[in-house]
Chains A and B, each alone.
Chain A
Amino acid sequence: MNEEAELLEQALAWHRRGRRVAIATVVATWGSSPRPVGSQLIVDEEGRMLGSVSGGCIEGAVVQEALAVLGGAPPRLLEFGVSDERAWEVGLACGGRIQVYVEPLA
């Protein structure tokens, strides 16, 4: 089984142990982006994470959004890129633009 499937197995295992889990998925990329479409990150309610959506640049921001979703906010589509000031703050200086969808496993 491949990497994504192993990660999703883990998400389901966390859920079954009673942890609340959010799944973040790269849904689009433009320019140079460290991780391809379909890359995923899973986050639990304590902010523990597994997987990767950017090779480290934006994981911190994605975890914050995942915690908001786990707190009851609707699923959301995030965008990071060099034109976005926020992206500089979180460090996506690799010259790409990336959209990440964050949803609860619920």
Chain B
Amino acid sequence: MKPDLLEQLLEALRHKREACLVRWLDSGEAGLWVEGRWTSPRPLAPELEAEIKRALREGRGRLWELGGERLFLQVFQPPLRLIVVGAVHIAQALVPMAHLLGYRTVVVDPRRAFASSERFPGTDILDEWPDEALAALDPDRRTAVVVLTHDPKLDDPALIAALRSDAFYIGALGSRRTHAKRIARLRAMGLDTEELARIHAPIGLDIGAVSPAEIALSILAEITCRLRGGPKRDRTAATGEA
């Protein structure tokens, strides 16, 4: 690999960009893909770009073959983060489960009685207002934001800040009715339909969750679904139903 190419890769990583480094193992050549930009003496075949995107979506490098040549695709991605706004009961289940899935977590709640390190051991806690906290945390394409306070004074500014960011997932707790009111408030504040469609609400995959831990599970299932680009199995084919 050329030092120039390595420098470009490291520059991309310093800016928290996703990158895929490709090596042609037989010739020793290399190429670098950073968010759609390709640098290499070799052209970027469409099927190679599709495989690069698949590797990034799955978060896994792989050996691959193209035109009788062996390639290695190596993925570089910023760490996964979960920002939880609202140090509520569901958050207490959500945080340790998110750690198991490989997320770094931050809990944001200006109400100090809620956001205590006793209730949330082993995670970062910010007792700032959500809009200030989110501006500082700067959610990127590997960050999910979950809004759980049930209080529009906290939820709304959190959602507005999240919608301004590149977060790959934004979810808000509340029933359909609560969410309809929320949409009306946010629309009155100037957000448009396309922006508001980014909010997953009611939050979580519909698995009939009841307890706080089950709701946390449904939220993380929905986040995983977004991260990995949606369901892979055709259920009708698997069950043989038409």
Q: Chain A interface (Cβ within 8 Å of chain B)?
A: 1-2, 4-5, 8-9, 11-12, 15, 23, 25, 27-28, 37-38, 74-75, 77, 99, 101, 103-106
CB <8 Å contact, A8 and B61: no
B6:A11 contact, CB within 8 angstroms: yes
Kindly state whether residue B3 has any CB partner on chain A within 8 Å.
Answer: yes
> Chain B 191-229 against A: per-residue CB contact (8 Å), 1 yes, 0 no?
000000000000000000000000000000000000000
The one of B7, B13, B14, B72 in contact with A25, judged by C-beta atoms closer than 8 angstroms, is B72
B180 within 8 A of A: no
B79: A residues at CB distance < 8 A: 2
Nearest 10 A/B pairs, CB to CB: A75-B28, A27-B72, A5-B13, A38-B61, A37-B61, A28-B63, A77-B25, A15-B3, A38-B74, A12-B6
Q: How large is the interface on B (under 10, 10 to 19, 20 to 34, 35 or more residues)?
A: 20 to 34
CA A38 to CA B21, docked complex, whole Å = 10
A9 touches B10 (CB 8 A): yes
A58 to chain B, nearest CB (A): 18
Q: Give Cα A67–Cα B36 distance, bound, in whole angstroms.
A: 35
With known contacts A8-B10, A28-B63, A105–B3 Cβ distance under 8 A: yes
Greatest chain A CB density within 10 A among B2, B14, B28, B78 is at B28
| A12-B3, A27-B25 given; A5·B10 CB < 8 A | yes
